Amino acid sequence: MQSASARSQTRSSSGVVRHLYNFVGGASVEGGRPFDVFDPATGKVHAIAYEADAAIVDAAVQAARHAVEGDWGKMPLATRRKLLGQVADRIEERFDEFLAAEIADTGKPVDLASHLDIPRGAANFRVFADTIANLSTETFEMDTPDGLGAINYAVRKPIGVVGVISPWNLPLLLMTWKVAPALACGNAVIVKPSEETPSTTTLLGEVMNEAGIPPGVFNVIHGFGPGSAGELLTTHPGVRAITFTGETRTGAAIMAAAAPTTKALSFELGGKNAAIVFADADFDAAVAGLARAAFANTGQVCLATERIYVERPIFERFVQALKQRAEALRPGLPYEPGTTLGPLISAEHRGKVLEYYALAASEGARVVTGGGVPKFGDERDGGYFVEPTIWTGLPETARTVREEIFGPACHITPFDNENEVVAWANDSPYGLAASIWTSDLARAHRVGRAMDVGICWVNCWFLRDLRTPFGGAKLSGVGREGGLHSIGFYSELSNICIKL
Ligand code: NAD
Ligand code: 6OD
């Protein structure tokens, strides 16, 4: 394998196709089958990534193991925290490059990426560098027959080599959300970003070197899932844990692949999230909040609301107000002034979303707005845009109301009482997130607790405190991350028992 760092410097802003290499032991390496990476706003190729083969994945595992067993694993905590802080600093210093890379891969509006994706990339490193500094440990004193007693205390050690498999919807945010705590705990990581969005992860490799993170602590392998880099990572005996964000059925495949080597697993999976709007809610706040929850990032957020239940007295007014919001969205190129709606990630994903648009119509939905593809008459017609879409009139049994669509679409149902709507909201195989909109505090507590989900927001959506538990119930996940929950997953606890 040769260093390819010089060739990886080409930038797409000038129209040049970038080459995205695997990153192993602190260096870009040549090798692997090239594959195209598309700009979803135009459908044009903007980068070529190289699919890691078994030799590259194995080299990444050896480099990572060497790092954990060497300097990184033994480094004083204060030094490790300082280096993680420097990673955050470098992301901020190279903000515009991260922004351009994320936008090239996803086509998302510049306003969204600059307020959400890139700042959270830096914040994830800062938060977990702080979290690791403020830990206590459990201690138990015990009696012994000789009356002198013993004391137990638990110490945290790195698990070792951690595989991070991330999706395409919020690439930098979701990848660093797992990399930062894994590194804070002294592990080394091998990241397999989505094949659709490899750019910001590749750029982070450069930043790791600039920040002084030792070689081998952060490695990147590109490629696909089954029969490719993803499967090679999940089956490798040298990888001790897999942290994964993506579709539920992919989680099931990873669980099976990881079973023979008994890896620790943490999964953040799909959702079909409900919102409940009571008649006493602040109407304008609910409409604005749910317009964001349904359409932000073109609905490609695992926490997005695809089912809205509205108390009957305000149902028609709510439907009309949300329709106005949907119709005010402006699809367009990411840097075009006024763009508020980006494309879907790929032609394939647009095909899937449009199948749901057709299904909803065939299931008898009333299409309040949308349901099609916008026409521009320019290069945007090569992109993967769809219209934001609202339906009403479907029964709870309709597939459109039960299956995750992952696009800018929601169904609105009227309800008449609290028990009925709580039962509907919970009648889902998923249990990721919910939101409740009400001015009645007692009801907020009561209904919030009754929701079968990992997170329930009241009068807000996607308001994140990174110290809180995050994850999904039912088919939406396995385990929790966030704050101390992340530290728990990324550490091996070892109990010391001292006879006094
Ligand atoms: P995906 O499951 O198709 O892919 C995610 C990652 O897994 C990619 O890197 C992919 O290459 C890899 N992969 C696929 N098959 C694999 C296999 N057999 N072995 C190893 N790796 C494999 O998901 P996606 O389409 O990228 O993302 C959208 C999905 O992710 C939606 O279902 C969404 O709800 C979910 N998601 C959940 C959360 C959450 O926090 N719960 C967050 C974001 C996205
Ligand atoms: O905010 C986060 O930490 C997080 N994991 C968000 C997930 C969003 C899903 O698309």
Q: What pLDDT digit, counting tens, does each position of 178-235 carry?
A: 999 999 999 999 999 999 999 999 999 999 999 999 999 999 999 999 999 999 999 9
Atom 4 (ligand 2) nearest CA: 174
Chain segment 390-444, per-residue pLDDT in tens:
999 999 999 999 999 999 999 999 999 999 999 999 999 999 999 999 999 999 9
Residue 354: both structure tokens together: 């449009």
Q: Whole-number mean pLDDT of the chain? A: 96
- Superfamily of domain 273-465, CATH level 4: Aldehyde Dehydrogenase; Chain A, domain 2 (3.40.309.10)
| 56-60: average pLDDT | 98
Q: Which residues contact 422 (CB under 8 A, 6 or more apart)?
A: 276, 447, 450, 451
Question: Which ligand approaches the C-alpha of residue 433 most closely?
Answer: 1
| 83 close to 213: Cβ distance less than 8 angstroms | yes
Res 377 pLDDT > 90: yes
- What pLDDT shows up at residue 36? 98
Let me know if 302 is a catalytic residue: yes
Site to probe by mutation for ligand 2, drawn from 126, 169, 245 as the one with most ligand atoms within 8 Å of Cβ, is: 245
Using CA atoms, how far apart are residues 407 and 356, in angstroms rounded to an integer?
9
Question: Which ligand approaches the C-alpha of residue 298 most closely?
Answer: 2
- What pLDDT shows up at residue 418? 98
Reported as a pLDDT band with limits 50, 70 and 90, residue 15 is low
Phi, psi of 39 (to 5 degrees): -85, 110
Q: What is the pTM of this model?
A: 0.96
Chain segment 135-161, per-residue pLDDT in tens:
999 999 999 999 999 999 999 999 999
| 28-46: average pLDDT | 97
CA 133: distance to chain centroid?
25
| 104-116: average pLDDT | 98
Pick the CATH number of 4-269+477-499 from 2.30.130.10, 1.20.120.850, 1.10.10.10, 3.40.605.10: 3.40.605.10
Domain boundaries, the chain: 4-269+477-499, 273-465
- What pLDDT shows up at residue 73? 86
Chain segment 270-321, per-residue pLDDT in tens:
999 999 999 999 999 999 999 999 999 999 999 999 999 999 999 999 999 9
Reported as a pLDDT band with limits 50, 70 and 90, residue 7 is very low
Candidates 97, 196, 268, 387; catalytic one: 268
Residue 203: both structure tokens together: 């750029």
- Which long-range contacts does 133-140 make (Cβ < 8 Å, 24+ apart)? 133/77, 133/81, 135/484, 135/487
- What pLDDT shows up at residue 74? 87
- What pLDDT shows up at residue 369? 98
Reported as a pLDDT band with limits 50, 70 and 90, residue 13 is very low
Asked whether the domain spanning 273-465 has the same topology as the one spanning 4-269+477-499, the reply is: no
